[in-house]
Amino acid sequence: MNETTNQEKKTFWEKLLSIDRRIIFLFIAVAISVPLFFKTSLDMPVSPVVQEVYNAIEKLEAGSKVLVSFDYDPGSMPELQPMAESFFRHCFRNNLKVIIMGLWPQGPLQANIALDQVFKDEDIKAKNLQYGIDYVNLGFTAGNEVVIDRMGHDFRESYPADSRGTPLSEIPLMRGVRNYDNIDLILNLSAGYPGTMEWVQYAVDVFHVKLAAGNTAVQAPSMYPYIQTGQLAGVLGGMKGGAEYEIALKRPAKAVSYMFSQAIAHGVICLFIIIGNIAFFSLRKKKTS
Amino acid sequence: MRREVPLILTAIVGITMIIAHFIPPLNILKNLFEDWFFIIAAFAIYLGILNLILVNGDKIYKKQKGWLFGAVVILGFLVITIIGIFFSGGKSFQDPGTPFYYIYMNLYYPLSATMFALLAFFVASASYRAFRARNVEATMLLLAAFILMLGRVPIGEWISAWLPEGYRLGDAADWIMDFPMTAGQKAIMIGIALGVVSSALRVILGLERAYSAGE
Amino acid sequence: MGKTKMVRQSHHHVGKLENSFFISFVLVSLLLSLCLFALRSTLAEEVPTAQGETAIQKDSVPPVPPTNVTAKDIPNDKGGAITVSWERSADDGGGAKNVTGYEILRSTKRDGGYEHIGNSPPGATSFSDNATKDKVLYFYKIRALSSTGTSESEPSAPAFSKRQWFNFSRLSLFILSLIIGSAIFYFIEKAKSGKGVFIRKIAGLEAVDDAVGRATEMGRKIIFIPGIMDMDSMQTIAGVTILGRVAKLVAEYEAKLEVPVCRSLVMVTCREVVKEAYLNAGRPDAYNDDMVYYLTDDQFAYAAALDGLFLRDRPAAVFLQGQFYAESLILAETANSVGAIQIAGTAMPTQLPFFVAACDYTLIGEELFAASAYLSKDPKLLGSLKGQDVGKFIFLLAIFIGAILLTLNSVLGLNLPDLRELFKGI
Amino acid sequence: MSSEVIGIWIGAILTLGIFSFLYKDNPFYKFSEALFVGISAGYWFVVTFWQYFVPKFWDNLSLAYSELLTKGRVDYHWIYLVGGFFGVLMLLRLVPKIGWLSRWSLAFIVGTTAGLQFTRYLESNGILQVKGTIMPLDLTYPKPFIAHTGFIITDILGTIWCNLLNILYTYSHWVLVVGTFCGLIYFFFSKEHKGVFGGAARVGVWFLMITFGALFGYTVMSRMSLLIGRMDYLFGIWLGLY
C-alpha cells in the first residue's frame, strides 16, 4: 500500500500521499470534540424512509399496541438511544400502549434508561402512565430468532413473565395479547444480530405483522431491499435518522445537537479525500511528463 | 466409528433440518436442535476458558515477556466470574445495582465503547488511502462514498441549497441508496444464498469434512 | 476485485451436453412451477364461513354485538390451532356503551356449552385459539364487553384444525431447493466421472500461495481469523474450511501459523482442521494445539487483543475469512499499518466495503463460499460451483422474463402472468 | 467520593488507555487490553452460564426430575439430556484417548447449521430478493431543468447536474433491474468473463463498487457518532466542561 518505496528525497506531494495516519487521527479528534462545546441545533429535511416510520406510528389509533424490541447494547447508545426516546415520546403522546422486550441481554436495560428520560417531559408526566396498563417491560429471553418465531405462536412460550417476574396473565396490558395478531406495529431498535433482519425473516415473512425499525447507520443500508419489497415500513439510519425523526416529531433532542460534530467531521474527511486526490494527480502528471 | 459416525450424523441432521422447514409437525425439532446447540456451546465454553487460563498461566509461570499482563487477564476473569456467579443475585445478575452491573457499566462498557469508537479514526485513514481515482472502478467507489458522506449531513444541504428541491446532494444520496446500491446489494445477497446452499450441501454430502475426519 | 482472466482448471472442456442440461433444467423448473401454480388453487382450503345475522339494534344497555364471526384452521401448521375473526361491534371506539374488550367463547355444539377461552382488546378483530384438538368441530362466539353490559354474537360456522403434513405455502421454495440441489448434485457426480469444470480465476485466492510464500521467506507469522461468530453460522464453517486449505499450504511451506479465535466451539473445530491439514501435508509432528487458541467471546475485546498481536508480532500475512461485524476495519487497518498482506472474505454486505478499502484482496459474498472448493482443486467440489451457477441462471431468467412480462403489461396494457405470483406464499 | 464518581474515573482512564493505542502500542494500552480480555471472557462466561446453561439445560432437567418424583412420569423435558450428552462429549477433548468423540458433537452442530441455513438463505436472500427485483421497467419523465441563479457558473453547473440526475431518475427501475442482473453475472464461476458476458460482468463490478462506496460513505456517520459519544463522556460527564 505504500505509494513511495524509493529512498530518494520525497517531494511535497509524495509526503502528502504517505502522510502519517496519526495526523489524520488528530484532525478527526479535534473536529469531533470542538463542536461539542458549541451547543448548536441544525435544521434538516426529513427523508422518506424516516417519514414512513413516523407515519406508521402516527396512523395507529389510540390504544393500539406497539411492541418495541431493544436489540442493542450500550455500545450503540449514541446512535440508538435518541431513537428509543423519540419512539417512546411518539407512542405515549399518541396514547399507544407499549410492550418492551429485548433479544440482546442489555436491551431491556436500555429501555429503562430511555423511559426515565422520557418521563421527565412535562406532557408525558401529565399523562400519569402506569406500568402494566400503559407500558410493560418483558425483559430479555435467550434464543435469538427462535424467540421471535415462538412469539408468533404465543408470547408466553418465550415470556412466561415480565422482567419483574409477574406472570403475563396478571398484567392488564398483556391479557388480550396472545401473539402478533394482537400487535399493531413492531418497532425494532437494532445494532446487529439478532435484529431487524431476523424480525423481517421470522415475524414479517411468517406472521405478516407490520414492522418499522431504527438501526445503526451501518446496518440501515442492508434494510433498503426489505423496504423496497414492503417487508419493512421504514428505517431510521444512525444519528441522522434519529435527528430527522426528532424533527418530524417536532421535539429536537440529543441527536439533533450531536449532528453539528458529525457534520464537521464529515467535512474534514471529505477534505482529506480531495487533498489525497489532488496529490495523486499532480504526482501522476509529473511522472508522465 | 471415528470416521463414519460424524459423517452420517451430519447428513442425517442436515437433511432433517431442511425437511423440517416444509413439514410442520417437524418444526418442533428445529427449536429443539437449536436449544441443544446452545447447551453444547455452554459446555464448550469451559474448553475456551481453560485454554485462556493455561496460556496466560504459562506466561506467568515462565516469567515470559509481558507476564504481568497475563496476570491481569486471569485476575480480571476471576473477579468478574466469581462476582457474576455467586454475588449478583443469580439470574438477575444484570439488574442495575448488582456488583456485576457496576463492573459492566464502569469497566466493560467504556472499554468496549472506546474500542468501537476507534473506528471513527480508522474510517478516516482508510478513506484517505483508498479513495483515489486510479481507474473507473475506483472512481465509482470514490464518487458514491463522497456523495453519501456529504449527503447524509447538513453540510451537503448547505452546499447544494441553491439547487431546486429533489436535486440536492441529500436527494442524490437517497437515489444512490435506493437504486444502484440496492441493486448491487441484491446481487451480493442472491449470490450468497446460492453460496450457502452449495456449501451446506457439500457439508451434508460429506465432501467438506475437514472438521470431522482424521486419524 | 477479481480480474476476468481465466484459468483452465482441467483438460476437458465440457460442451454441448451441459448446455442441454441447463436448458432442460430451466424447462423442468418452469413446468414444475406452472404445475404448482395450477395445483395451488385446488389445494386451497375451503373456508367455512358463517353468515351471522346482524344483531337487532336495541336501545337497551349492552353494546352492539360483533358480527360475521368466522373460524378457520390455520393453514400449513402442525395443527392444534384455529383462527377466529370477526367484525367489530358498532360500539367499539367510543360512546357510552364503548366496548372494553372481547371474550372468545368456544363450544363443540352450536347451541350451547360455550366456554370462555380467551380475551381480546378493543379494536381487535381476530384471535388464534392454539388449544384445539385436531379434527374436532368447534363453534365460536364473540362476546363484546362494556361497562354497561355484554352481548354475544351469533355462533360461527364450525371449523376444525388439522395437522398439515406439508406446508404448501413453501411449495415453490421446496421445488427450487430440489432443482438447485439436484443441479449441484448432478455436477458433483459428473465431476466424479472425470469430466473437468471451467472455473474463472478468483484473484484473492490466486494470491494465497504468494502470501504464504512471502511469510515463509520473511520468517514471520501467518495469522488466520475465522470471523467472530460461532459454528451456527455458515460463514464460520466456510472460513474454517478455508483454514484447512491454507493450513495445508502452510505446512508444506513450513511457515508459522497462528489462529486466535473468539468462540470455544470454533477453537475445537479449528484444531481438528489444522491438525488434519498438517497430517495430509505429511508433517503431523509440526502441529501443536497451541497454534489455535481462544481469546474471549467478546467482539471488541477480541479486536483489542488482535490489534495488540498485530503490532507486537508483525505478521507477514493476515487472513480474515468468515463472518465479521464492526471490528472488520479495526483489524484490517491495524494489519495494514504493519504491512501485512491481507486476504479478506465475508458475506456481510455491510463489512465488505471496509475490506475492499483496506485489504489487498477481498472475497465478495459468494466467493467466500466458493473459496475452499477453489483452493482444493478437487473436481467434485468444483462441480458444486457449476451447480450454483445453474441456480444463478434460473434466478437471472426469472428476473429477465418477469421484468419483460410486467413491462409489456404496463406499456401495452396486456394481461400477461406475473412471475412474482409463483413465490406468493413466501 | 461516591462509587458513581469512582466508576466514572475508572471508565475515563480506561477510555484513555484504549485511545493511547492510536499513537502507538504502550504499557497503558497493554494493561487496558489485558483487563478487557479478562473481564470480557468472564462476562460472557457468566452470561452463558445464567442465560444458556441454567435455563436451557438445568431448569429443563430439574423440571423433568421433579415431574418424575412427584408424578412418577417421564416427561419430554428429559430430551434436553441429549444436548447435555453432546456437551459432555465436547468436554471429553480433555481426555486425549477419547477426545475424538467430540467430533460427534461438531458433526451435529455443523449438520444443524447447514440444514437450517440452507432453506433460510434460499428464501430470504434468494427468492425474496429475486421477487423484489421483478418489476416493470417503467420510465418516469421529470421535467427538463434550466437553472437561474444569477451566476453563469452555477447556472451551467446546476443545469448539468440536474439534467444528469433527471436522466438517472428516468431510468431508476432500469438501474435496479440491470444492476442486479449484471451484478449476478459477475458471480458466475463456470463461464469465462469475455465478450458480451464479460461486458455485463464489468458493469456488474461497477455496481458492486458503487454499492461499496455508498455503504462506506453511509457508515462514516455511524462511526463518528460512536466517537461523539465517547468524547461527550470524557468532556461532558468526566470533566464536566460544558
Q: For residue D132, what is the nearest residue in chain A, using CA coordinates? A: A229
* pLDDT band (50, 70, 90) for residue D197: very high
* Closest in A61, A192, A205 to C325, CB measured: A192
Residue D37: closest CA among chain C residues belongs to which residue? C301
* pLDDT, position C36: 53
- Residue C29 pLDDT exceeds 70: no
- Subunit contact A28:B38, Cβ cutoff 8 A: no
CA distance linking residue A215 with residue A236, whole number of Å: 6
How large a percentage of chain D has pLDDT more than 90? Answer: 69
When mean pLDDT is compared across A265-279, C43-57, D92-106, D136-150, the lowest value belongs to C43-57
Q: Is residue C10 part of a domain?
A: no
**Which tops the pLDDT comparison, A161 or B137?**
B137
Q: Which residues of B touch C300 (CB under 8 A)?
A: 111-112, 115-116
C-alpha C16/C-alpha C27 separation (Å) is: 17
Q: Inform me whether the C-beta atom of residue B168 falls under 8 Å from chain D C-beta atoms.
A: no
Nearest neighbour of B27 by CB, restricted to C1, C78, C265: C78
Residue of D nearest to A197 (CA): D124
Residue C275 sits in a domain of what CATH number?
Answer: 3.40.50
Report yes or no on A126 lying in a domain: yes
Residue A270 three-state SS: helix
**d(C-alpha B45, C-alpha B48), whole Å:** 5
Q: Is the pLDDT of residue A210 over 90?
A: yes
B120 touches chain C (CB under 8 A): no
- C-alpha span between C200 and C8 (Å, rounded): 8
For cell 476471576, what's the residue? Answer: B78
Q: Which chain B residue has its CA at the smallest distance from A1's CA?
A: B129
Is 60 exceeded by the pLDDT of residue C48?
Answer: no
DSSP string across C118-163 = EEE-TT--EEEE--PPBT--BEEEEEEEETTEEEEPPPPPPB-B--
What would the pLDDT profile of D58-67 be if each residue is shown by its tens digit?
Answer: 999 999 999 8
Secondary structure class of C419 (helix, strand, coil)? helix
Mean pLDDT value of segment D98-122: 93
State residue B147's pLDDT score. 94
What's the pLDDT tens digit per position in C352-362?
999 999 999 99
Do C77 and C225 fall within a single domain?
no
The cell for C353 is 466495503
Q: Is the pLDDT of residue D57 over 50?
A: yes
Q: How far apart are CA D178 and CA D183, in angstroms?
A: 8
Judging by DSSP bridges, how do beta strands C292-294 and C317-321 pair with one another? unpaired
Among candidate residues B199, A115, B178, C64, the one with its CA nearest the CA of residue D218: B178
Rounded Cα distance, A162 and A136, in Å = 7
Number of domains in chain C: 2
Euclidean distance between CA atoms B64 and B76, whole angstroms: 19
- For the residues of D82-101, what is the DSSP string, one character each? HHHHHHHHHHGGGSGGGGGG
ipTM summary value: 0.86
- B26 vs D: CB within 8 A: no
The number of residues making up chain B comes to 215
Per-range mean pLDDT, top range of A42-56, C17-31, C109-123: A42-56
CB contact under 8 A, D46 and B81: yes
Q: Which of A155-159, B61-65, C387-391 has the lowest mean pLDDT?
A: A155-159
C228-275 pLDDT tens trace: 999 999 999 999 999 999 999 999 999 999 999 999 999 999 999 999
Instruction: Please state whether the peptide bond connecting residue A194 to the residue before it is cis, i.e. omega within 30 degrees of 0.
Output: yes
**Mean pLDDT score across all residues of chain A:** 88
Q: Give C262 to chain D, closest Cα distance, Å.
A: 9
Q: Which among D31, D56, D165 has CB closest to B72?
A: D31
Q: What is the span of the domain harbouring residue A65? A: 48-256
Q: Do residue C312 and residue D130 have CB atoms under 8 angstroms apart?
A: no
Q: Is residue C356 part of a domain?
A: yes
Of B51, B119, B211, the CB nearest to C267: B51
Which domain CATH number covers C127?
2.60.40.10
What is the DSSP secondary-structure string of D62-79?
A: HHHHHHHHHH----GGGG
Size of interface A-C (CB pairs under 8 A): 49
Identify whether C1 is part of a domain.
no
Per-residue confidence (pLDDT) for residue B213, from 0 to 100: 52
Which of B38, B113, B186 lies nearest to residue A225, judging by beta carbons?
B186
On the question of pLDDT at D89 being above 60, the answer is: yes
Residue with cell string 454499492: D211
Phi and psi for A161 in degrees, rounded to 5?
-145, 165
In-domain check, residue C304: yes
| Lowest pLDDT segment from A105-119, C385-399, D36-50 | A105-119
Query: Do C114 and C212 have their domain in common?
Result: no
Per-domain residue ranges of chain B? 1-67, 131-215
Distance (Å, whole) CA A209 – CA A205 = 8
Which pLDDT does position C223 carry in this prediction?
98
Tell me what pLDDT residue C425 has. 63
Which chain C residue lies closest to A219 (C-alpha atoms)? C350
Listed residues C118, C152, C186: the one ending a domain: C152
| Confidence band of C52 (pLDDT split at 50, 70, 90) | very low
Smallest Cβ–Cβ distance between A259 and the set B131, B154, B186 belongs to B154
Total residues found in chain A within this entry: 289
Other Cβ atoms less than 10 A from the Cβ of C290: the count is: 12
Determine if residue C384 is left, alpha or beta; phi over 0 gives left, psi from -120 to 50 gives alpha, anything else beta: alpha
Q: What DSSP line would sit under A203-231, residue for residue?
A: IIHHH---EEEEE-TTTGGGGHHHHHTTS
Mutation target to probe the A interface, by most A beta carbons within 10 A, among D222, D223, D232 is: D222
Query: What is the rounded (10 degree) CA torsion for C355, C359, C360, C366?
Result: -20
Per-residue pLDDT, averaged over A57-82, amounts to: 90
Residue A9 to residue C152: CA distance in whole angstroms: 93
D127 Cβ under 8 Å from any chain A Cβ: no
Q: CATH number of the domain at A111, please.
A: 3.40.50
Smallest CA–CA distance from B74 into chain D, residue: D38
Return the residue of D nearest to B192 by Cα: D125
Size of chain D, expressed as the number of residues it contains? 242
Helix or strand holding residue C383 (H, E): helix C379-412
Region A131-158: mean pLDDT is 88
Interchain contact, C4 vs D198, CB within 8 Å: yes
Determine the pLDDT at residue C30: 58
CA A24 to the chain's CA centroid: 28
Q: Which member of D18, D33, D93 has the closest CB to residue C305?
A: D33
Question: C72, C77, C92, C119: best mutation site toward chain A, by most A Cβ within 10 Å?
Answer: C119
The DSSP secondary-structure symbol of A82 reads H
Q: What is the tens place of the pLDDT at every residue in D201-219? A: 999 999 999 999 999 998 8
Compute the average pLDDT of residues D27-43. 97
- Partners of B23 on chain C (C-beta within 8 Å) are 165-167
Best residue in B64, B114, B215 for a mutation probing chain D (most D CBs within 10 Å): B114
Among A79-93, B126-140, C194-208, D81-95, whose mean pLDDT is lowest? C194-208
Nearest beta carbon to residue C350 from set A2, A178, A219:
A219
Using an 8 Å CB-CB cutoff, list chain A residues near D242.
36-37, 39
The yes-or-no verdict on residue C2 having pLDDT over 60 is: no
Contact by Cβ (8 Å): A56, A62 = no
Residue C410 to chain D, least CA–CA distance (Å): 7
Please report residues of B whose CB lies closer than 8 A to that of A268: 124
Give Cα separations from C148 to B185, C65, C94, D67 (angstroms): 57, 13, 13, 46
* SS3 state of residue A45: coil
> How close B183 comes to chain A (CA, Å)?
8
Minimum Cα–Cα distance from A75: chain C residue: C300
Cα-Cα-Cα-Cα torsion D64, D70, D74, D79, nearest 10 degrees, comes to 0
Residues of chain C found within 8 Å of residue A1, distances taken between Cβ atoms: 336, 339, 360
Residue A212 corresponds to which amino acid?
A
Lowest mean pLDDT among A146-150, C276-280, D195-199: A146-150
Q: DSSP letter for C420, please.
A: G
Distance from CA of B153 to the nearest CA of C (A): 20
Q: Which among C379, C191, D117, C103 is positioned nearest to B197, based on CA atoms?
A: D117
Question: How confident is the model over A116-138, as a mean pLDDT?
Answer: 91
In sequence order, the β-bridge partners of residue A152 are: none
Per the rule left: phi > 0, alpha: psi between -120 and 50, beta: everything else, B188 is alpha
pLDDT at D36 over 50: yes
Evaluate if residue C51 carries a pLDDT over 60: no
Report the phi/psi class of residue B168: left, alpha or beta, with left for phi > 0 and alpha for psi in -120 to 50.
beta
> Quick check: C349 and B189 CB within 8 A?
yes
Average of per-residue pLDDT across A128-156: 88
How sure is the predictor about A1, in pLDDT bands with cuts at 50, 70 and 90? very low
CA distance D158 to chain C (A): 31
Cα–Cα distance, A288 to B134 (Å, whole number): 14
SS (H, E, C) B23-72: CHHHHHHHHHHHHHHHHHHHHHHHHHHHHHHHHHHHHHHCCCCCHHHHHH
Under DSSP, the state recorded for B2 is T
Per the structure, the count of domains in chain A is 1
Chains within contact range of chain B (3+ C-beta pairs < 8 Å): A, C, D
The pLDDT assigned to B211 comes to 65
- A 10 A CB-CB count for D71 gives 9
pLDDT at C283 exceeding the cut of 90: yes
CB spacing of B94 vs A269 below 8 angstroms: no
One DSSP character per residue, chain D reads --HHHHHHHHHHHHHHHHHGGGT---HHHHHHHHHHHHHHHHHHHHHHIIIIIIIIIIHHHHHHHHHHHHH----GGGGHHHHHHHHHHHHGGGSGGGGGGHHHHHHHHHHHHHHHHHHHHIIIIIIHHHHHH--------PPP----SS-HHHHHHHHHHHHHHHHHHHTHHHHHHHHHHHHHHHT-SSS---HHHHHHHHHHHHHHHHHHHHHHHHHHHHHHHHHHHHHIIIIIIIS---
pLDDT at A157 over 50: yes
Q: Hey, are the CB atoms on A181 and C337 less than 8 Å from each other?
A: no
Coil vs helix vs strand at C233: coil
Cβ within 8 Å of residue D66, ≥6 positions away: none
What mean pLDDT comes out for the span C268-292? 94
Whether residue B188 and residue D208 make contact (CB cut-off 8 A), yes or no, is yes
Question: Is A288 a member of any domain?
Answer: no
- Residue C348: give the domain boundaries: 197-378
Instruction: Report whether pLDDT(A6) > 60.
Output: no
Query: Which residues in chain B are closer than 8 Å to A1, comparing Cβ atoms?
Result: 129
Tens-place pLDDT, residues C147-164:
788 888 888 888 888 888
D59 touches chain A (CB under 8 A): no
Cβ–Cβ < 8 Å for C137, C158: yes
Please indicate whether, in this complex, the C-beta atoms of B94 and A105 are within 8 angstroms of each other.
yes
Q: What pLDDT band is residue C47 in, cutting at 50, 70 and 90? A: very low
Under an 8 A CB cutoff, do B117 and D229 touch? yes
What is d(CA A79, CA D220) in angstroms, rounded to the nearest whole number?
12
Does the structure show a pLDDT above 90 at A277? yes
Question: What angle (nearest 5°) sits at the alpha carbon of residue B25, between those of residues B22 and B26?
Answer: 65
Could you tell me if C201 and C147 lie in one domain?
no
Q: Count CB neighbours of A208 within 10 A.
A: 11
Q: What percent of chain A has pLDDT over 70?
A: 96
How many Cα atoms within 13 Å fall on the side-chain side of residue A237?
A: 27
Identify the segments of chain B with pLDDT beneath 50: 214-215
**Average of per-residue pLDDT across D136-141:** 87
CA distance B160 to chain C (A): 27
For residue A29, list chain D residues with Cβ-Cβ distance below 8 A: 231
Q: Within a domain: residue A43?
A: no
For residues C96 and C204, the model is more confident at C204
Q: Is the pLDDT of residue C292 over 50?
A: yes
CA A262 to chain centre: 16
Disruptive mutation site among D121, D160, D171 for chain B (greatest number of B CBs within 10 Å): D121
Answer whether residue A278 is part of any domain: no
Pick from C354, C104, D193, A9: nearest CA to B118? C354
Average pLDDT over every residue of A152-173: 86
Q: Are both C302 and C362 inside the same structural domain?
A: yes
* pLDDT at residue C289 tops 90: yes
Which pLDDT does position C34 carry in this prediction? 54
Q: For residue B1, what pLDDT is reported?
A: 65
What percentage of chain C has pLDDT greater than the value 90? Answer: 52
Q: What is the pLDDT of residues C312-345, one digit of tens each?
A: 999 999 999 999 999 999 999 999 999 999 999 9
The yes-or-no verdict on residue D145 having pLDDT over 80 is: no
